[in-house]
A and B are shown apart, each in its own frame.
Chain A
Amino acid sequence: MRTTIRRSFVPLLALVALFSTPSYPADELKVVATTADLAAVARAVGGDDVEVTALARPAEDPHFVDAKPSFIRVVNQADVLIEGGASLEAGWLPPLLEGARNPRISAGAPGRVFAAQGLALLEVATQLDRSMGDVHPQGNPHFMLDPVAAKTVAESIRTAFCAVDRTRCSDYEAGLRAFREAVDAALADWQATLAPLRGTKVVTYHKDFDYFFQRFGMQVVDTLEPKPGIPPSPTHLTELVPKMRAEQVRLIVIEPFRERGNPDFVAQHTGARVLVLPAMPDGQDRPDYLALIDYDVRQVAAALGQTGATR
């Protein structure tokens, strides 16, 4: 009896072993980032040692990504998962994690990176009240447009890479060092470019360029959205127009995926200019993180009459 049971188990186990994917890191560390900006920094740190996949497409609204089943497969095979960590992905990451059943990237595992960890976020909610809009409890999650914050995120990513793949830790250290140095070098240049615009007031569509403008000493005085995540309302816009006139706001900054109707309307009535500013590297025109910030800095400078050709 016992032997027959054993006999029938052997082929079963063999079958399971044959079909199950290996759970040790492959040649290249498989890294999954929720958004393209995090993916770009991961590529900068990991270089050729890592294979990075971004889930959200670079030009889409990162709050509303579909939890497609194909992502479950990607997350299932990940050695490292990098997420923003400030609820930006709250609407779509949890079902992927549940479906992926991957202990290597479960919360608390060395392969899980919360990019916001170690950063002092803006607008941390002191009170949770959704009548104030979709406020993220941990703070404004759009911190990646601040290059100084990106350096800290790169450090967290290095730490995860080293923890998961000790043998190539020196590579990751080198990648981090190179990234930090590149950011530092470029930052001086960017700050010089935008120095004449220090104190300039701008209006954005959503609260997603706050970190960027704060870094360069500019001021976001209001948003087209009356409250985070709530589309522009006529009431709000009729208040916004005189306010922008009074404060002499000359620039309205929106992301590529936003509708143009309301920004154009406000621009028409205030004489301000609408500038479409990408928030994510796209792998083509803005291949990496530095190229993205560089592009954005030059666009802002050009839009406000600074040539942006100081380099």
Chain B
Amino acid sequence: MRARSNVRVGAAISVAVLVFWSPPIAVGEDRGVVADLRREIEDVRRQMRALEEKLKQLEERAGAASAPPPAPPPAALAAVPAPPPRAPWSPAQPMALLSGARGYLNLSFDALVDFGWSTNREVTALQRGDHDPIERGFTLPNEEIFLDGAVDPYFQGVADIVFKLNEDNETEVELEEVYLTTASLPWNLQVKAGQFFTEFGRLNQQHPHAWDFVDQPLVIGRMLGPEGLRNPGARASWLAPTPFYSELFLAVQNSQGGTAFSFRNTEEAALFGRPAADRPVRGPWDLLLAPRYVASFDLSDSQALVAGLSGAFGPNASGTSTRTQIYGGDLYWKWKPAWQSGGFPFLSWQTELLGRRYEAGAAEIRDPAAPDLPPLELPRESLYDWGLYSQVLYGFTQRWVAGLRGDWVTGGRGAFRPDENRADRYRIAPNLTFHLTEFSKIRLQYDYDHGQILGSDSSVWTQVEFLLGAHAAHKF
């Protein structure tokens, strides 16, 4: 279309140039000059018509069958003249005309709505995750706008902006992820830069709408934080040339704030009785370093196994020279038969085990209400915490998934106790999810919570999800 109008404009300009640029002709002077001019204009018009004709032919040919290469040999064409199926209502070039799935930008909006009740009046005492239900009744924990696409031949870009309503029904906004990924580095390398979820284990990389349960596993909240481990930074990954899939990741990220929960974070829940120390970044070692290695094996035609080891290392805010190390192992197994329909049936098992060593600084705590009492002396000590979750999902028939998750966390001895942020807890959570389509689901979940300090509680949660916009693609 544009090509044709360009030709027209070009022709018009040349005509105009011919008309106006020719030497001025005195009125009534030689008629021959005028006749010449006319002839020339006629010529130009003819050329223009020929050009248009040629363009039309070209466009028609492109419309009929546009494999860019030379036309197929006529000998082969002769046998069956029938062109590809052509229905009167369908334009011939679907790929070029419709940008529905291949625009410059994929845009989608994903909403989660939770509803439920708990025997614990203070729901947040049980549900520590940032995208968990926060009160009896309704919660809008995660309403996200997701944008992605190719930036240019060199980068892919992603932006994920999350809105949620807090307990006072005020809207909170998080720039959850914004990063670009390289598309064509040599040696099987890939670099990601921006703000992103650290590739630590499996769940930390998933957005809440992709979770298989309503709430965050306890161990993830306790060690990687209620919002998950994500901060501005860069990571490189290398797809290793092994005979099976294996990939090595190394991330360097900022180490401060609630999104680096066990590191330079001044929230009380992450300090274990200590006051927050002044802990600026003094050198590169004060950044967060997170390596990960993951490998996958196809056990059979219908079974795949993914296993990973992760680490996260950096300073913490409980002292001026204290550091935290988190280690994690994750395992995922899935069975999906060779005759699956709509993605069902399937059976999957996912487990993550995490351990943390938190060097807590020495501190003297005085009770302002009783200044005469001797201060509580907290020594410099290493606090060891452990936890795991393990979940089984069974997609027993089309659209229906039954799940069961067990959660357990525990903390080793520490001078500051009792501390609900390190005390033993477990949770048993069976659930049932109905996926109406890939774009909506309804989930019912029961949580049985037991904690050393919290006691026992029961909660029932329902969750509804809907997705507008670009088709979601699922990572394995």
Contacts from A to B (Cβ < 8 Å): 16, 19-21, 23, 57, 59-61, 63-64, 66-70, 72-73, 76, 85-87, 90-95, 98-101, 103, 106-108, 114, 116-126, 128, 130, 134, 136-139, 143, 146, 148-149, 152, 155-156, 158-159, 162, 177, 180-181, 183-185, 187-188, 211, 214-215, 229-231, 256-259
Contacts from B to A (Cβ < 8 Å): 65-69, 72-73, 76, 79-80, 82-87, 89-92, 94-95, 98, 100-101, 150, 153, 156, 181-190, 239-241, 244-245, 247, 294, 296-298, 301, 304, 306, 334, 336-343, 398-399, 437-439, 471-476
- Does the CB pair A152–B185 fall under 8 Å? no
Known contacts A21-B188, A124-B90, A148-B84; decide if A231 and B98 are in contact (CB<8 Å): no
Known contacts A148-B85, A159-B69; decide if A231 and B399 are in contact (CB<8 Å): yes
- Does the CB pair B476–A68 fall under 8 Å? yes
**A85 partner, pick from B95, B186, B306, beta carbons under 8 A:** B95
Known contacts A70-B244, A101-B185; decide if A139 and B94 are in contact (CB<8 Å): yes
Docked Cα-Cα span, A181 to B68, in Å, equals: 21
Extra A-B contacts (9), CB below 8 Å, given A57-B301, A73-B244: A66-B336, A95-B476, A106-B153, A106-B184, A124-B89, A138-B95, A143-B85, A215-B85, A230-B437
- Does the CB pair B90–A121 fall under 8 Å? yes
**Residues from chain A with Cβ under 8 Å of B245 in the complex:** 69-70, 72-73
- Does the CB pair B340–A257 fall under 8 Å? yes
- Does the CB pair B95–A152 fall under 8 Å? no
Known contacts A63-B342, A70-B244; decide if A91 and B90 are in contact (CB<8 Å): no
**B67 partner, pick from A136, A139, A152, beta carbons under 8 A:** A152
Interchain residue pairs A-B with the least CB separation, the first 7: A137-B100, A69-B296, A64-B343, A103-B184, A184-B79, A69-B245, A159-B69
- Does the CB pair B304–A69 fall under 8 Å? yes
- Does the CB pair A69–B94 fall under 8 Å? no
- Does the CB pair A139–B90 fall under 8 Å? yes
**A117 partner, pick from B67, B90, B183, beta carbons under 8 A:** B67
- Does the CB pair A187–B80 fall under 8 Å? yes
Known contacts A70-B298, A87-B471; decide if A257 and B336 are in contact (CB<8 Å): no
Question: How far is the CB of B237 from the nearest CB of chain A, in Å?
Answer: 9
Known contacts A60-B339, A121-B94, A155-B72; decide if A20 and B476 are in contact (CB<8 Å): no
Docked Cα-Cα span, A287 to B306, in Å, equals: 32
Question: How far is the CB of A234 from the nearest CB of chain B, in Å?
Answer: 15
Can you list 16 A-B pairs, Cβ within 8 angstroms, ordered by A?
A23-B186, A66-B334, A68-B296, A101-B182, A101-B189, A119-B84, A134-B437, A137-B100, A138-B94, A181-B79, A184-B76, A185-B79, A188-B80, A229-B342, A231-B398, A231-B399
